[in-house]
Each structure stands twice: as structure tokens, then as C-alpha cells.
Amino acid sequence: MSSNTFHNYPAEQKKLTASIRQKKSFLCVGLDVDLDKIPPHLLREEDPIFAFNKAIIDATHPYAVAYKPNTAFYEAYGAAGWQSLEKTVRYIQSIDPTLFTIADAKRGDIGTTADRYAQAFFHALDFDSVTVAPYMGRDSIEPFLSHAGKTTILLGLTSNPGSADFETISVGDHPMYQEVMQKALTYKNSERLMFVVGATQTQYLAAIRQILPHHFFLVPGVGAQGGSLSEVCRYGLNPAVGLLVNASRAIIYAGEGVDFAQAARAAAQSLQIEMAEALDVYFKS
């Protein structure tokens, strides 16, 4: 790893990089809990969502460096869902303070509204990071970036089919997603940014890494969405690793019965082994 690159990272990303190197993993587990999909015996628990999350976290944290609850899966259950979310974040912090937490909220509004969103996720819920949408521009992003010790994860090039509606259309001589990324680098405290780059978009990943040689990428779409981990590593790794690869359904719903947590552990371990091999190849080359 280049020491110059590493020392330019904010403290929270240095901590994440150290955790990645220690565990030989850049796995992020997505906690997208659907009560219709969790094992039926958990529905007898006082808080089925938290009971499910706790079991998944206990089983997978030796192989993961980050957890990413998608807030919609909690908001859908009203106040009880928010309580489950808060309990989940606190539990992650208690079991291992080096684990990186991501509120996958995709917020995108301006001024004081953006600052209230930042306060909610960074301080009331104490997440390490939050995902944001860039459509409204600088004054919808910089309120998040003003919070020291926290990371803002900007939607760059997403893995959904509708991304072609806007993200890849031409703006002058380059696609829109490149315009977004280049513009974001001019924002105040842009060193606190990460970028979402979908695993199903690896044909663009090498060009994105040229634009963003040092920033972390959060990469969803490996597993159930069919993204290739080997291709993501081939084009996305940098001297400070620079990747968080998210898997949600492929891990948390790997099993359906009372042994669901053991199945999740096996799925997480399998991905971690692939990641360790990719890191060995990259840093020996």
C-alpha cells in the first residue's frame, strides 16, 4: 500500500482500510430485512427484525468489515422498525467498534433539510456513513460532508436497469455519471466521499478508477444481482484496497430454516476467501 495514499485518507477511512487488511476482507453485509422472508420461528420474538439481524451479525462479523441496513426495510414498519434499526446499529458497535456502518438511505435535499438528515443518521443513529443522491447538486451534498469523522457515499453509477435513463447519457463528450463524479471532487471536504458503483457496471469500472484513483467505492450487486466479484477486483482495487463489496440477499437469505445463521456464515466466509485471494494477487503483482 502506498503510504502517501493512505495518509491522505480521513481517519475513519484509515480505520476501515486497517480493518480490511487485518481481516483480508472488504465484505459489506446488507441487512435488508423482510418479515415475509425471515425464518418463521423468529416471528415469535418480541423484535423479529432485531433477532434476525443479531443472529446474522453474530454469524458473519468475523468475515465482514461493514454492515449496510437499507432504511426502507425499517421505515416500512413504522416506529417499531426505526427502533429495530437503532438497536441493530448499537449492537454492531458493541460487538466490534471497527465495523463500518452504512445507512443506505439515499437522501437528497438541500440546505437545512440536508443538515437534518445528516444529524439524524450521523448523530441520532450514529452511523459512520450514509448514502446520498446527487441530483440536486452541491448544496444537497456539502451539509453531509461538513460532519467530521463521517463518510458520505454518493450514488455514482448504480446497478439497476433504469440507470441508463440518466446516468450514462452523454453530457458533452462524457457520460453523466462522470460529470457527477468530477463535480463532486470540487465540493468542500470531498475527501470524506465514497462513491456507489454497481457490480453489474464493471465495463465502466476501469474508467471510473481513473477519475477516482484514491476514493473508496461501495459496490452493490454481487450475488443475487449477478455481479462478478473477480471483475470488480480486477478493475476496482487500488493500493489502499478502495472497495467495499456489498452482498445482501445472497448472505442473509442463504438459509431458510433454524440454521439460517450458519448458512449466512458459510456464504460470508466463501466471499471472504475470494476476497483474500484477490488481495493476495493484487498486492503481490
Please report, in angstroms and rounded to a whole number, the separation of the first and last CA atoms in the chain: 12
Average pLDDT over residues 267-272: 97
Contact of 123 with 148, CB cutoff 8 Å: no
Please report, for the chain, the start and end positions of each structural domain, with discontinuous segments joined by +. Answer: 3-264
Q: Helix, strand or coil for residue 238? A: strand
d(CA 108, CA 73): 18
Q: What is the pTM of this model?
A: 0.95
Average pLDDT over the chain reads 93
Nearest CA-CA partner of 247 in 231, 224, 281, 266: 224
Amino acid 177: pLDDT: 95
Smallest CA-to-CA distance from 189 within 225, 141, 231 is with: 141
The values of phi and psi at residue 111, to 5°, are 60, -135
Helices (H), 138-259: 138-145, 176-184, 205-211, 229-236, 249-252
**Of 86-95, 115-124, 202-211, the least confident:** 202-211
Average pLDDT, stretch 191-219?
91
Kindly tell me if the per-residue pLDDT of 172 is higher than 50: yes
pLDDT of residue 1: 37
**Count of residues for the chain?**
285
3 pLDDT band, cuts 50/70/90, is: very low
Percent of the chain surpassing pLDDT 70: 95
CATH of 3-264, one of 3.20.20.80, 3.20.20.70, 3.10.20.440, 3.30.465.10: 3.20.20.70
- Give pLDDT, residue 9: 81
pLDDT band at 200 (very low <50, low <70, confident <90, very high): confident
Give the mean pLDDT of 266-281: 96
**Whole-number Å distance between alpha carbons of 150 and 270:** 30
Rounded to whole angstroms, the Cα distance separating 95 from 86 reads: 14
pLDDT of residue 113: 98
pLDDT in tens, 47-79: 999 999 999 999 999 999 999 999 999 999 999
CA–CA gap between residue 196 and residue 26 (Å, rounded):
14
> Quick check: 34 and 73 in contact, CB under 8 A?
yes
Residue 74 sits at φ, ψ, to 5 deg, of: -105, -45
CA-wise closest residue to 278 among 242, 248, 251, 249: 242
Write the CB contacts of 278 (distance below 8 Å, at least 6 apart in sequence): 229, 230, 233, 237
Residue 199 has pLDDT above 80, yes or no: no
pLDDT digits (tens, 9 = 90+) for 229-266: 888 999 999 999 999 999 999 999 999 999 999 999 99
Work out the percent of the chain whose per-residue pLDDT is above 90: 83
Question: What positions carry a catalytic annotation?
Answer: 106
Binned at pLDDT 50, 70 and 90, residue 21 comes out as very high
- The pLDDT assigned to 159 comes to 83
- Who wins on pLDDT, 199 or 18? 18
